[in-house]
Amino acid sequence: MPTPDQRVYLDHAATTPMVPEAIAAMTEQLAKVGNASSLHAAGRAARRTVEESRESIAANIGARPSEVVFTSGGTEADNLAVKGIFWRRQAVDTVRRRVVSSAVEHHALLDPLTWLATHEGADVTPTPVDATGRVRIDVLRESIERAPDEVALVSCMWANNEVGTVQPIDAIAAIVGEYGIPLHSDAVQALSVLPVSFADSGLDAMTISGHKIGGPVGVGALVVRRELDPIPLLHGGGQERDVRSGTLDVASIAAFAAAIEVMVDRRKSHAEHLDALREHLVTGVRRLVPDAIVNGDERSGPTHRLPNIAHLTFPGCEGDSLLMLLDAQGIECSTGSACSAGVPQASHVLLAMGYDDASARGSLRFSPGAQTTEQDVDALLAALPEVHARARAASAPDQRSA
């Protein structure tokens, strides 16, 4: 069992530790003063840092600097994308009320879509997925072709944050391109481990976030074509081409740029390291718990799954029980469920993939990172048999009715 200062962190899909280069860039800027919108020398220096960071980020993700709009993170960027594009399209043609998405989006996108449906009259059409969590292209095409003139936008995440399945963004881009429909993708999980190029993707807008790639929490960006011009959520000083007003966080932006530069430089070796750890983890779990089910696409490669997510269902167990028992052993991971008002809810991703409620609540997500070692995975495997036995006993029918 790891000591308190040797805990095993297997939840990098939730957030990552900052890389030293990002810490150094942020620390340097925190010691300085200057509003990037001010005209004096300190302000101009801050503006120079922001614009150099913007250029660096754009170069590393295959975008033009003018397409990078800084936000407070992925959630704001997703909201700005779906609401801002929907409103812009509505302003031009009120018939365009439909928003087509996948059924397995992150809540940062699902919830704004629900808000648009409730408050703005949007007709939200979730596209079903197959058993691996991949969007059914045939259904998506049929949904769009039924009435393409009514579709305001399409949004599909690049890779799923729970099970790691990579979506066919190129195929979706080809479909929507036939009708001139804007396409947005949440690339938050994909960015650190997959080759991501905005220019080559066929996307019109893309969400990225700092804290998933070794940068700080509280900074991200919506990468959006200038021709799209989404209506802003925030009004004020007109920063970020009048799409996202607000004083720019110079230190976080500099750290964000530094993290992306490190990420791109190490992406290939990083992905190989993570894939090997994932294989070791999955093989070990299957040996120890033969009835465990690996969720998502098991094929490796950038068109199939992320190398850093292993999502498993443990029949007869509650995911929350497994998580807390592992946490007591110094192993940190996450469940595939959301928690609202203290009431565990089945993962909408697994339900969309065809799981029943009990199976959807009996899952764990393990996501290693750059600092994870084979010994960390061995620590998990050493703790798992006892944890699994206790969780299964606690969930047995006679125990629940006692």
Active site residues: 339
Q: Exposed, middle or buried: residue 49 (CB in 10 Å: 0-12, 13-18, 19+)?
A: buried
Whole-angstrom CA distances from 155 to 104, 128, 402 are 11, 13, 47
Nearest Cα neighbor of 231 from 205, 253, 250, 209 is: 205
* DSSP-derived secondary structure letter, 19: P
CA gap 291, 66 in Å, rounded? 51
DSSP, res 208? E
| Of 69, 383, 18, 392, nearest in space to 241 by CA | 69
Cβ count near 9 (within 10 Å): 19
Give the strand pairing for 98-102 and 151-155: parallel
41 exposed, middle or buried (CB, 10 Å; 0-12, 13-18, 19+)?
Answer: exposed
Q: Which two tokens stand for residue 278?
A: 């994932």
Pull the structure tokens for residue 247.
Answer: 């004083």
Distance in angstroms (rounded) separating the CA atoms of residues 347 and 366: 15
Q: Report how far residue 46's alpha carbon sits from residue 33's, in angstroms, rounded to the nearest whole number.
A: 8
Cα separation, 342 vs 388, whole angstroms: 23
> Dmax of the chain from CA atoms?
73
Q: By CB neighbour count within 10 A (0-12 exposed, 13-18 middle, 19+ buried), where does 288 fall?
A: middle
For residue 106, how far is the Cα from the chain centroid? 7
- Identity of residue 10: L
Q: Name residue 71's beta-bridge partners.
A: 220
* CA separation for the pair 275, 25 (Å, rounded): 29
